[in-house]
Amino acid sequence: MLDEALRAGVYRSTVGAERQACAALNVKRLLSRDKGDADTWYPTDLARKQVAKANPSPDQNDQAAKPGVTIRRIDSIDSDGRLRIVDRATVEVIKASIRERGLQTPITVQGTIDDARVKLGAGKHRLEAMRELGETWIECFHRDVDDLDRELWEIDENLCRAELTPADRALFVARRKEIYLLKHPETGAGGDRKSKRQAVGLIEAPTTFAVATAVATGRDRRTVERDASRGEKIVDMALHLIRGTRLDSGAFLDRLKHVAEDKQVLYAEAALADEKRKAAEVKENRRRQQEVRHAVRLAHMAHVASSGAATAGKVGHKFPIIYADPPWKFSTRSEVTGGDRSASNHYPTMTTHEICALWEQIGSPAKQDAVLFLWATNPMLPDGLQVMSAWGFTYVHHWIWDKEIAGNGYWGRDRHELLLIGRRGNPAAPLPGSQPHTVHREAKGRHSAKPAFFAETIERLYPDMPRLEMFCRDPRPGWTAWGFEAAAESEVA
């Protein structure tokens, strides 16, 4: 019964046994009886405090550190009729923060701790986050004030934030001015949103209001006057139409406020329709350009592939050190729109199966005891290990190239590539103390080109051994080069 009273704010006893139990709770000062109805009971402040103490969700140490903070059941707080729409992204950010650190700032409600139900004053996003996290109770400040003061809390809390749009600010500041003049009639005549044109007082006494609002919200006085002017001269429906759209800008609002009030909604609707038409035209032009680029790209890829195939020959020797950067064939979301930066534009690409089969086709160029250094990107890691196994090597380690700037990716924005290291037989590992750090940071250069650091490191670790670079683009002194861009097998002394 006590839990039901705390949850609903009131409990009605229907039979004698329930009335006796409620009377016992009344003796303990946990329930109070309605003076006009002997079967209506209300939870007391003592009951709320005892439940709060027994409830493990709020941190009691935090309670002690927050004077004036009490807890209240979330379902006893009314939060409808807010000026600002709940932003889903903001709620998700607050939820993540609450999971990690708990609720740092209590909400503010209109009412006393003894009221069965209260109205939310400030903290809609925090309240929504706690509700979605499955919490039953929330920390709050109780303020026994009128509806105008409660609305001022919401307005001022939002005006202090940077993410409001110009339309939001116009709505909030204009409404704050109405409330201010109602609470301080000595500064000008009253008025409401329905009679803004006739309420001359809203425009006659801007200084006092602007200064007070600037102090309360931390904004510049001229900014407050500008936002108030927009909100007063533009009808609410027009402001709500453009909130969050491409037209939600100060420049458009300044044009709109000079349009006759009875024409503002039509003006906003026409402007939105024109924006939609322009966006459709841009999208169609982009689609056509992508189709043209795609056709050019296909022709270029065919030329690169045919040129490369004619220059890739067999390897006539066996090598203990092999350094390979395979031309992986990547999948894209769309063949038309996804290939602007495709590797196929620069050199002939190969499927994983083709790279695996290539080893024997060029003569299996590894000695019985050999080390393979094989480049692979994040999404191609399983393919890299598959190629390593098909070539007769076993994975032992890898190095990382940090490109400094993040690129694209489906699951994450990639900014590094992997240099997989494999061995076959019993090759010599680097001498102790000569091993490099596993991460090298260097900005990327032209398409697919790898930093010289890695080839130089291999040279340092294996200075006197024959070395083969497969899929070579720029032959290095002291290496045997094989690849589509290096022509056939060639030695650079």
pLDDT tens track for 465-474:
999 999 887 7
Q: What φ, ψ does residue 435 adopt, rounded to 5°?
A: -65, 140
Cβ atoms 238, 196 nearer than 8 A: no
pLDDT at residue 83, as a whole number: 72
pLDDT score recorded for residue 303 = 55
- pLDDT at position 314: 82
Fold classification of 311-492 (topology level):
Rossmann fold (3.40.50)
pLDDT: which is higher, 152 or 346: 152
Per-residue pLDDT, averaged over 330-340, amounts to 54
| Domain spans, the chain | 151-272, 311-492
pLDDT of residue 205: 44
Gyration radius of the chain's alpha carbons:
36
How confident is the model over 359-383, as a mean pLDDT?
94
User: 323: helix, coil or strand?
Assistant: strand
Q: What is the pLDDT of residue 331?
A: 62
Q: Which of 472, 467, 466, 468 is CA-nearest to residue 486?
A: 472
- The per-type count for the chain, helices as H runs and strands as E runs, is 17, 16
Backbone angles phi, psi at 320, to 5 degrees: -85, -20
Read off the pLDDT band of 63 (50, 70, 90).
very low
pLDDT at 272: 92
Residue 67 has pLDDT above 80, yes or no: no
| Per-residue pLDDT, 180 | 84
What are residue 374's DSSP bridge partners? Answer: 324, 420
Sign of the torsion angle spanned by Cα atoms 77, 81, 83, 84 = positive
Q: pLDDT (tens digit, 9 = 90+) per residue, 172-206?
A: 888 888 888 888 777 664 444 444 444 434 444 44
